[in-house]
Amino acid sequence: MRTNIVIDDRLMNEAFMVSGCKTKKDAVEQGLKLPFTMKKQEKIRELRGTLSWEGDLEAMRIDV
31-61 pLDDT, tens digit per residue, is 999 999 999 999 999 999 898 888 888 888 9
Cα distances (Å, whole numbers) of residue 11 to 6, 38, 50? 11, 21, 40
pLDDT of the residue at 33: 97
pLDDT of the residue at 3: 92
- Whether 64 shows a pLDDT value over 70: the answer reads no
Report the run of H or E that residue 55 belongs to, with start and end.
none
Tell me the pLDDT of the chain averaged across its residues.
93
Closest C-alpha to 4, from 25, 18, 23: 25
Model pTM greater than 0.85? Answer: no
